[in-house]
């Protein structure tokens, strides 16, 4: 069996290449009212829904834990929220993250 690794073909058993399943994110319209409000606020700030947030929405406890944790970290930050968002986005671009 052949698999694709960094543009080159390798045999599955020699290189240990595995097929990785992708987790589909939840459609924000199918979530609870409060989750939809969080998605709406993020969409307003960044212009689109974030894939990690849609995946976390599959497990509501994880979603809310992450939202509350981010909010608490934002409360203690000495850097203004706008500057922190710009730095985060700029860092994502530099490391090649699509968003």
Give the list of residues 6+ apart from residue 13 with CB closer than 8 angstroms, or none: 1
Q: Compute the C-alpha angle 69/73/75, nearest 5°.
A: 120
Higher per-residue pLDDT: 35 or 99: 35
pTM as predicted: 0.59
Q: Which helix (H) or strand (E) holds 62?
A: helix 60-76
**pLDDT tens sequence across 9-39:** 444 445 556 677 778 888 999 999 999 999 9
Residue with tokens 């939202």: 67
Dist. CA 62–CA 75, nearest whole Å:
20
């Amino acid at each position: 069996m052949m698999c694709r690794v960094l543009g080159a073909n390798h045999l599955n058993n020699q290189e240990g290449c595995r097929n990785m399943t992708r987790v589909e994110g939840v459609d924000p319209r199918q979530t609870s009212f409060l989750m939809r409000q969080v998605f709406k606020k993020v969409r307003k700030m960044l212009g689109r829904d974030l894939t990690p947030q849609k995946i976390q929405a599959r497990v509501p406890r994880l979603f809310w834990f992450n939202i509350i944790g981010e909010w608490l970290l934002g409360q203690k930050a000495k850097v203004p929220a706008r500057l922190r968002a710009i730095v985060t986005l700029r860092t994502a671009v530099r490391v090649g993250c699509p968003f």
